[in-house]
Amino acid sequence: MTQKKSNGILVLAKQAQALHKWLLEKGLLHNRLKPKRISKTVVFPLLVQPTPKEKKELQKRFSGSRITTVLFESQKPKNCSLKQALEIILTKKEKEKLVSGFDTLGNIAIIEIPRELEKKEKKIGAAVLETNANIQTVCKKTGAHKGKYRIEPVKIIAGKKSLTADYRERGCRFRIQVGKTFFSPRLSHERSRIAEKIKKGEIIGAFFAGVGPFPIVFAKNSSMKKSIAIELNPIAVKDLKYNIKQNNVDEKIVAVLGDVKKIVPKRFKGFFDRVVMPLPKDGEDFLKEAMVSLKPSGGIIHFYAFVPSENSFHAIIKRIRRIAQQNGFTIKILEKKQVRSFSKDLIQIVIDFWAKKEK
């Protein structure tokens, strides 16, 4: 059994049962560590430090108790769901405000916490940590995707003070700097779908490549010849190069730091059989470059966009056709579908279309 040094609350053995219940109610108990018996006292491991108000209540209810640091033995978390854990921490009204689902990037969980529940965010984070054995860090979203790199800011609320995720998908492994790069685990099924469509010998343009999920999944799960992965964010490109190396696909993927608008017309005109465009916003501003980058014989573009849930495809397809016409391209829609719901009124869609320059 492994041991870990951690903070805990020491009380007389006769108070142990009452303190155990109190710690559970407050979301303070670390259930991956086993309480320790020391003579006529018991030390309960703490997941997070009590607030000043909780410390006062602790002294009032458990006279003589104190916070100390000892070696605890590790133990498997008790079989308790997140829903059950939150029932102890939150009122019925509070639970209705909290989005119960969350994204996971390997060992990191990313959760949305409404402003009304910010006072309880550490306890909510602790509940996520305690009921998910693979999670080591819990962070909350602190804003929407913003800036030229489309980064989603986050803040750690529980667990290890690390935002470097170790994420795995389709036999691939990725290092991701959460909060510094863009990555969506919710597009994993799209990466698999496209990988199955890629024909032997294809050259793929991976625009807005991020840390490399699309080109690396393609390299490991298709017969593509090569992929050019273009990304503007230097931190993402650093992770991209690391991920290319650790997945042993150096010969198949070339990482390029820079702006698609500037790089493609100069270096990759008429170059690709297929282009994937997973930009979270304003992807249509780069459709001209995507079309120009296709081989003279034509090629396929996988275009992603967020659109209103009502009339989701008509307007965006109309814009694609207009951009194609303005630049002398013929297009044919191959497939269109909803990828996921983003909010009540907004969905993400993908449109696969073939395009060729008119003679």
Structural domain includes residue 179: no
Provide the number of structural domains found in the chain: 3
* Percentage of the chain exceeding pLDDT 70: 97
Angle at 355 between CA 354 and CA 357, to 5 degrees: 160
Residues 217 and 338 both lie in one domain? yes
Structural domain includes residue 167: no
Provide the β-strand partners of residue 300.
274, 354
Q: Given 131, 162, 193, which residue is the final one in a domain?
A: 162
Distance, in Å, from the CA atom of 10 to the CA atom of 65, rounded to the nearest integer, reads 5
Distance, in Å, from the CA atom of 217 to the CA atom of 201, rounded to the nearest integer, reads 16
Residues 330 and 190 both lie in one domain? yes
Task: Please answer whether residues 18 and 34 qualify as being in contact, where contact means their C-beta atoms are separated by less than 8 angstroms.
Answer: no
Residues 270 and 339 both lie in one domain? yes
Q: What is the pLDDT of residue 1?
A: 62
Domain hosting residue 99, numbered range: 82-162
Residues 91 and 143 both lie in one domain? yes
- Supply the DSSP string of 256-314, one letter for each residue: EES-HHHHHHHH-TT-BSEEEE--SS-GGGGHHHHHHTB-TT-EEEEEEEEEESTTTTH
Structural domain includes residue 176: no
Greater model confidence, 109 or 144: 109
Which alpha helices (H) appear in the chain, and where do they start and end?
Answer: 16-26, 52-61, 82-89, 92-97, 121-131, 188-197, 213-221, 234-246, 260-267, 287-292, 314-326
Residues 199 and 237 both lie in one domain? yes
Structural domain includes residue 169: no
Structural domain includes residue 177: no
- Average pLDDT, whole number, for the chain? 91
Closest CA to 320 of 274, 351, 349: 351
CATH of the domain at 328: 3.40.50.150
Residues 64 and 31 both lie in one domain? yes
The string of pLDDT tens digits covering residues 9-35 is 999 999 999 998 888 777 788 877 889
Distance, in Å, from the CA atom of 235 to the CA atom of 212, rounded to the nearest integer, reads 12
